[in-house]
Amino acid sequence: MSKKPGESTITSFRDASRLYSDTSILMHEAIARKAGLSGTDHKYLGLIMQKGELTAGELSTLTGLTTGAITGLIDRLEKKKLVKRQFDKTDRRKVLIVPHTQNALKLLEPLFAELQQKTTALISSFSEAEIKIIEKYFTSAVAIMTEVTDHINDK
């Protein structure tokens, strides 16, 4: 049976987690600049690509951005041919935001190549059991952050 971590271990872990988060933001900002995007446009493009297609209202709900801000975001991404507006086939009043995945990947993949290579090597240095623990942490942390975000947004 393993013992619970002490306060200094938890503090050290939180410090490392904070540094990871801050460094991730700085790296994504650098990648976005190199791609000719703002950091937020880059991250929201990633969300749109994950979802496949969604309405402006759905994107607004997902991000917490106003519909005006969403319009500006889509205008900027559309101008760069990274997304397109498309009428819903079943309800032409609805406009879907559809990622132009091929263009986005052409733009972003070269910028992520070094990161992918190095993180693959890092992950490969862990055992299956260690990877499962790290994966459990990330999955649980995402659930906690989603819960806290929802709680803040409900206030």
Q: For 19-29, write each residue's pLDDT tens digit.
A: 999 999 999 99
Q: For residue range 44-101, what is the model confidence (pLDDT) as tens digits?
A: 999 999 999 999 889 998 888 898 999 999 999 999 999 999 988 888 888 899 999 9
Q: For residue range 98-133, what is the model confidence (pLDDT) as tens digits?
A: 999 999 999 999 999 999 999 999 999 999 999 999
* Residues 105, 24, 37: CA angle, nearest 5 degrees: 45
pLDDT score at 1:
60
pLDDT score at 155:
72
- Percent of the chain at pLDDT > 70 equals 99
Q: Which helix (H) or strand (E) holds 98?
A: strand 95-99
Looking at the structure, give the CATH architecture of the domain made up of residues 8-124: Orthogonal Bundle (1.10)
pLDDT score at 90:
86
- Percent of the chain at pLDDT > 90 equals 77
Q: Which amino acid is at 39?
A: G
Instruction: Give the count of beta carbons closer than 10 Å to the beta carbon of residue 94.
Output: 14
Domain ranges of the chain: 8-124
The per-residue DSSP string of 3-29 comes to: PPPPHHHHHHHHHHHHHHHHHHHHHHH
- In contact, 45 and 83? CB cutoff 8 Å: yes
